Amino acid sequence: MTELSIRPVRYDAEPARTLVLAALADLAVRYDHPGGDDTPVDPAEFDPPGGAFLVAWLDGRPVGCGGWRSRHGGDEAAEVKRMYVAPEARGRGVALALLRALEDSARQAGRKRMVLETGYRQPEAIALYGRAGYARIEDFGYYKGTEGVRSFGRDL
């Protein structure tokens, strides 16, 4: 039987660091862009109470990650960052479970809305967010105005 657990881990600690590097490598290939994502990220942004970083474990192995941070220092919205599931764990419900855990964490911290940005070369992510009740919103953040960016949001 497959066992999935999701636990908080510091953004800059293992295994989060390894999963984030894998996420960035995946983005680098998809977008043919060294580094994968140029969005400025400070690991401290994911420390409670202003954020959280979670790692998904499947049968005792770390297979996914994601975090939320306060949107530009505000206390209403939480921005999802670094959502990633390793290829061998895809299609097993890990991403949706991770997203729901992030939503629960943000809600418990008093956030009212989740927002995120993804890109046109991530069709699995776009499909996931649609299934999870997210709708397109005005683009924001680092990639605002960049061709191919897709921004989504959902009230908590």
User: Is residue 132 over pLDDT 70?
Assistant: yes
Could you read off the pLDDT of 90-127 as tens digits, one per residue?
Answer: 999 999 999 999 999 999 999 999 999 999 999 999 99
How large a percentage of the chain has pLDDT more than 90?
85
Q: With bands split at pLDDT 50, 70 and 90, how would you rate the model's confidence at 72?
A: low
Residue 42 pLDDT: 95
Provide the residue ranges of all domains of the chain, joining segments of one domain with +.
Answer: 4-112
**pTM above the 0.85 mark?**
yes
Could you read off the pLDDT of 76-91 as tens digits, one per residue?
Answer: 999 999 999 999 999 9
Superfamily of domain 4-112: Gcn5-related N-acetyltransferase (GNAT) (3.40.630.30)
Q: How many residues can be counted in the chain?
A: 156
User: Is residue 73 over pLDDT 60?
Assistant: no
Tell me the three-class secondary structure of the chain, residue by residue.
CCCEEEEECCCCCCCHHHHHHHHHHHHHHHHCCCCCCCCCCCHHHHCCCCEEEEEEEECCEEEEEEEEEEHHHCCCEEEEEEEEECHHHCCCCHHHHHHHHHHHHHHHCCCCEEEEEEECCCHHHHHHHHHCCCEECCCCCCCCCCCCEEEEEEEC
Residue 151 pLDDT: 96
> What's the CA gap between 114 and 118, in Å, rounded?
13
